[in-house]
Amino acid sequence: MLAVFDKSVATIPDGLQTPQQDPSLNALKDAALSRHFTSLHPSAVTINLGGSGLISYSIDKQNPLLPRLFAVVDDIFCLFQGHVENVAPLKQQYGLNKTANEVTIVIEAYRTLRDRGPYPADQVMRDLQGKFAFILYDSTTKSTFIAADADASVPFFWGADSEGHLVLSDDVETVKKGCGKSFAPFPKGCFFTTSGGLRSFEHPLNELKAVPRVDSSGEMCGANFKVDSGSRKESGMPRVGSAANWSQHY
């Protein structure tokens, strides 16, 4: 799976982009990165999100234990890889039918949050038990919701190109193609949203700090993001009855 988001919908966190970024790397220009992805996965389907970016999806060369899924519901696009162990109770919790799978559960969980549901986002993420990574884009609000499980069970990487576009994929070579050395594994136990940036759902009251990565040649190579145990942040999100849309405030 591949997603490239314009900085208007996903602001890259400080530290992910290295100071020595190659100025020629532009993942959205002429759809260069999606064409590279399609060359690796000829059956890939690419969806142009207009000025917001693009997403590409393919089921070939996948790990059968960590399958890829894709769905679109009410202009919400979601790429999902892995599996959720507690599918049955989540279907009941969100009022979904028996045919619902992991990707539709993630979309419904997001819609519940967006429409001012009763649970904070970190609790919704902790309710997802399993091995997974997902990329969600809401074209109505131009918002992203991206996450990986607490054990980083699914290969999942992110990076930044020279224009500040956010690149995400389960294939590290694809991310490196678009971002050079400005990449890193997506932080385990974390989620990223357009309005709230990167947060830990395991430690929601703590800030995350960027720890620079150095490659074998001694050059800067993006950053890992770690929970800062000495920091605290405000808790919570708008609850039911709030006049504000969740997707614009979290």
DSSP-assigned states of every residue in 69-134:
EEEEETTEEEEEEEEETTHHHHHHHHT--TT--HHHHHHHHHHHHHTT-SS-HHHHHHH--EEEEE
C-alpha–C-alpha distance, residues 71 and 201, integer Å = 24
Residue 224, burial from CB neighbour count under 10 angstroms (0-12, 13-18, 19+): middle
The pLDDT score that the predictor gives to residue 19 is 81
Alpha-carbon gap, residue 116 to 243, rounded angstroms: 9
| Radius of gyration of the CA atoms of the chain, in A | 17
Of the candidates 96, 85, 190, the one whose C-alpha atom is nearest the C-alpha of residue 145 is: 190
Q: Helix (H) and strand (E) counts for the chain?
A: 5, 14
CA count, 13 A, side-chain hemisphere, 66: 20
pLDDT on residue 101: 94
CA distance 130 to 153: 9
Residue 246: the pLDDT is: 46
In the prediction, which pLDDT does 232 show? 73
pLDDT of residue 240: 40
Enumerate the H helices of the chain as residue ranges: 32-40, 87-94, 102-114, 121-127, 172-179
Whole-angstrom distance, CA of residue 1 vs CA of residue 246: 26
Give every CB contact of residue 85 below 8 A, 6+ residues apart in sequence.
129, 130
Whole-angstrom distance, CA of residue 134 vs CA of residue 129: 13
* CB-based contacts of 137, cutoff 8 Å, min separation 6: 3, 5, 9, 49, 52, 53, 55, 76, 77, 78, 143, 144
pTM of the model: 0.90
Structure tokens given for 111 = 């819609």
pLDDT at 231 (0 to 100): 73
H helix or E strand, kind and range, residue 135: strand 130-138
Instruction: Walk along the chain (250 residues) and give the pLDDT tens digit of each residue.
Output: 999 999 999 999 999 988 878 888 999 998 889 999 999 999 999 999 999 999 999 988 888 889 999 999 999 999 999 999 999 999 999 999 989 999 999 999 999 888 876 678 898 999 999 999 999 999 999 999 999 999 999 999 999 999 999 999 999 999 999 999 999 999 999 999 998 899 999 998 899 999 988 887 778 888 899 988 877 765 444 444 443 454 454 4
pLDDT of residue 241: 40
pLDDT score recorded for residue 237: 43
The reported pLDDT for the residue numbered 110 is 94
Q: Is 43 helix (H, G, I), strand (E, B) or coil?
A: coil
Q: Which two tokens stand for residue 81?
A: 């890889």
